[in-house]
C-alpha cells in the first residue's frame, strides 16, 4: 500500500473511519461503517462518495470535436455547452479501451473523466491518436478532486449550499457554480441509479467541500459511502464496470452498449468497422444480468452452466441489500443468452439463476 496514491480526501476518509484498501493503485475507502447500510442510505437518503481517483483530461483546440468523434464511439457533435455524454473509447477490433464521460465546456474545449485504473493507458492512447489533429491534451487528474452526492436527498441538501439554482439542471447537464462557497463543476450524473450530482473541485478544496456537504447533509440522513456500496449500487442499476462487463475483449455488441455507439455519425471512428461487422454477424458471447434467488454471491470467475455444460463466466456479483438476494452479471455464449435454464456452479453445486433486465429495481435518476 505504501506506493498507492492518495486522494485529496485521504485524511477525511481515515478520520471518518474509512477502511482503506488498494484500488487501481489508490488508497480508497471500501467502506466506512457497513457496505449494506451505505447502500441503503444512498437509496433512501443520500451517500457521499470520494471518487477523486478518477482521471481527468482536457481536450482543447479547433479540431477537438473532430478528434473526439474519431476516438470515441458516441456522437460528440450532438453536444452543446453544458452537456455531458457517456461514451466508449474502442480499439480497432471493437474491444474497449475505456468508458468515460465527455463534458463540453465550450466550443473546442472538453473535459474527459476516465476510470482510475485506465487513466495512464487512456492518456497514452489519446496522445497517440491526437497526432493527426490540431488538439492539445492535458492530464489534469492531479488538479481535480471529485465527489459524488447521490440519493433522493441530494438536491435538498445542495439547495442551501449552492450559489446557482439547480432545480432546472437536466440529467447529463452541468453548470459551473459554488457549493458552500467553493467553485465546482456541478454535473447531474452518477453511478448509482439515484438522482444526484458529481462535483469536480480543485484538489486543495476537496476536503473543505466534503466537510461542508457532510455537515449539511447529516440531518437528512447523508452517510459517507465507499467503493463497496458504489459497486453494489451500480450493479443494481445495471451499469457496466470496466474490467467486468466491458474490457479489451468485451465490446459494445457483447455488452449491450450499442446505445453508446453512433453508427450514424458522419465520420469514421476507431472500431466502427469491427463493431458494425460484429453487430451484423452476431456476437459469440453476450453479457446477461441475473438474480440468484438466494443469499450466496456468485463472484467473478464463477462458472455458468447449462444442462451440465460450461457456457460462461460470472463477471460481477454482489448482494443486493434492497432485493435481499445475490445478483450479478455474466458473459455467456450467445446461444444461451435467452435461456431460462442457466445455473452458477458454487463449490461444485449448480444453483439456478434467473435472467433479469436491469435495473434490478425501479430507479429513475432523471426524476
Partner 1 sequence: MSIPADLKYTKDHEWLKLLDGDEALMGITDFAQNSLGDITFVEVPEVGDSFSAGESFGVVESVKAASDLYMPVDAEVIEVNESLEDSPESVNSSPYEAGWIMKIKIADSASLEELLDAKAYEEIAKD
- Closest approach of Cβ 193 to partner 1, in Å? 18
Told to check if 24 binds partner 1 by CB under 8 A, we report no
Contact criterion met (CB below 8 Å) for 317 and 300: yes
Cell of 74: 458516441
Residues 318-337 that bind partner 1 (CB under 8 A): 318-319, 326
* Bridge partner list, 152: none
Nearest to 235 by CA among 300, 183, 171: 300
Told to check if 240 binds partner 1 by CB under 8 A, we report no
Q: Which residue has the cell 454471491?
A: 297
Binding segment for partner 1 (CB under 8 A), chosen from 4-12, 35-43, 129-137, 185-193, is 35-43
Site string for partner 1, 166-195 (x = CB under 8 A): ------------------------------
Binding segment for partner 1 (CB under 8 A), chosen from 27-35, 84-92, 109-117, 336-344, is 27-35
Of 49 and 269, which CB lies nearer to partner 1 in the complex structure?
Answer: 49
Residues 268-307 that bind partner 1 (CB under 8 A): 294-297, 299
Told to check if 34 binds partner 1 by CB under 8 A, we report yes
Of 97 and 315, which CB lies nearer to partner 1 in the complex structure?
Answer: 315
Of 266 and 301, which CB lies nearer to partner 1 in the complex structure?
Answer: 301
Q: Which residue has the cell 465527489?
A: 147
Residues 79-138 that bind partner 1 (CB under 8 A): none
Decide: residue 110, CB within 10 A, 0-12 exposed, 13-18 middle, 19+ buried. Answer: buried
Residues 51-80 that bind partner 1 (CB under 8 A): none
- Closest approach of Cβ 238 to partner 1, in Å? 18
Residue count, binding to partner 1 (CB under 8 A): 18
CB under 8 Å to 116, separation ≥6 — which residues? 23, 24, 25, 26, 53, 54, 55
Told to check if 30 binds partner 1 by CB under 8 A, we report yes
Of 9 and 326, which CB lies nearer to partner 1 in the complex structure?
Answer: 326
CB under 8 Å to 206, separation ≥6 — which residues? 7, 8, 9, 52, 145, 146, 147
Of 264 and 295, which CB lies nearer to partner 1 in the complex structure?
Answer: 295
* Bridge partner list, 104: 110
Of 59 and 297, which CB lies nearer to partner 1 in the complex structure?
Answer: 297
Cell of 318: 454482489
- Closest approach of Cβ 348 to partner 1, in Å? 13
Gap between the Cα atoms of 139 and 198, Å rounded: 19
- Closest approach of Cβ 294 to partner 1, in Å? 8
State the DSSP string of 171-213.
TTBEEEEEETTEEEEEE---SSSSSEEEEEEEGGGHHHHHHHH
Beta strands in 79-203 (DSSP E): 84-90, 96-106, 109-114, 136-139, 144-150, 174-179, 182-187, 196-202
Of 295 and 357, which CB lies nearer to partner 1 in the complex structure?
Answer: 295
Of 123 and 224, which CB lies nearer to partner 1 in the complex structure?
Answer: 224
CB under 8 Å to 243, separation ≥6 — which residues? 117
Site string for partner 1, 205-234 (x = CB under 8 A): -----------------------x---x--
- Closest approach of Cβ 303 to partner 1, in Å? 15
Q: Greatest CA separation found in the chain?
A: 61
Of 187 and 302, which CB lies nearer to partner 1 in the complex structure?
Answer: 302
Assign 13 to helix, strand or coil. helix
Q: Which residues bind partner 1 (CB under 8 A)?
A: 19, 30-31, 34-37, 228, 232, 294-297, 299, 318-319, 326, 347
Amino acid at each position: 500500500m505504501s506506493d498507492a496514491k492518495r486522494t485529496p480526501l485521504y485524511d477525511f476518509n481515515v478520520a471518518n473511519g474509512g477502511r482503506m484498501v488498494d484500488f487501481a493503485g489508490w488508497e480508497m475507502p471500501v467502506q466506512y461503517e457497513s457496505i449494506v447500510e451505505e447502500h441503503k442510505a444512498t437509496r433512501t437518503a443520500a451517500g457521499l462518495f470520494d471518487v477523486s481517483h478518477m482521471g481527468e483530461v482536457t481536450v482543447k483546440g479547433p479540431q477537438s470535436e473532430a478528434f473526439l468523434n474519431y476516438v470515441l464511439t458516441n456522437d460528440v457533435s450532438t453536444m452543446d455547452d453544458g452537456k455531458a455524454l457517456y461514451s466508449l473509447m474502442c480499439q480497432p477490433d471493437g474491444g474497449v479501451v475505456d468508458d468515460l464521460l465527455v463534458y463540453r465546456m465550450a466550443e473546442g474545449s472538453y473535459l474527459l473523466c476516465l476510470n482510475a485504473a485506465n487513466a495512464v493507458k487512456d492518456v497514452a492512447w489519446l496522445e497517440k491518436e491526437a497526432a493527426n489533429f490540431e488538439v492539445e491534451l492535458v492530464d489534469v487528474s492531479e488538479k481535480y478532486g471529485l465527489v459524488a452526492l447521490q440519493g433522493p436527498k441530494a438536491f435538498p441538501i445542495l439547495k442551501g449550499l449552492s450559489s446557482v439554482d439547480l432545480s432546472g439542471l437536466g440529467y447529463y447537464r452541468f453548470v459551473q457554480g459554488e457549493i458552500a462557497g467553493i467553485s465546482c463543476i456541478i454535473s447531474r450524473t452518477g453511478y448509482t441509479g439515484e438522482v444526484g450530482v458529481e462535483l469536480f473541485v480543485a484538489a486543495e478544496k476537496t476536503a473543505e467541500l466534503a466537510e461542508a456537504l457532510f455537515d449539511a447533509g447529516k440531518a437528512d440522513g447523508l452517510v459517507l459511502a465507499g467503493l463497496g456500496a458504489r459497486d453494489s449500487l451500480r450493479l443494481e442499476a445495471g451499469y457496466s464496470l470496466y474490467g467486468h462487463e466491458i474490457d479489451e475483449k468485451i465490446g459494445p455488441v457483447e455488452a449491450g452498449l450499442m446505445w453508446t455507439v453512433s453508427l450514424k455519425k458522419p465520420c469514421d471512428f476507431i472500431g466502427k468497422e469491427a463493431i458494425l461487422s460484429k453487430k451484423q454477424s452476431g456476437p459469440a458471447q453476450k453479457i446477461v444480468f441475473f438474480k440468484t434467488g438466494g443469499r450466496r454471491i456468485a463472484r467473478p470467475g464463477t462458472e455458468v452452466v447449462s444442462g451440465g455444460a460450461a457456457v460462461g463466466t460470472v463477471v460481477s456479483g454482489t448482494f443486493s441489500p434492497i432485493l435481499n438476494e445475490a445478483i450479478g452479471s455474466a458473459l455467456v455464449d450467445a446461444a444461451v443468452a435467452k435461456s431460462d435454464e442457466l445455473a452458477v456452479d458454487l463449490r461444485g453445486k449448480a444453483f439456478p439463476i434467473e435472467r433479469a433486465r436491469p435495473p434490478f429495481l425501479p430507479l429513475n435518476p432523471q426524476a
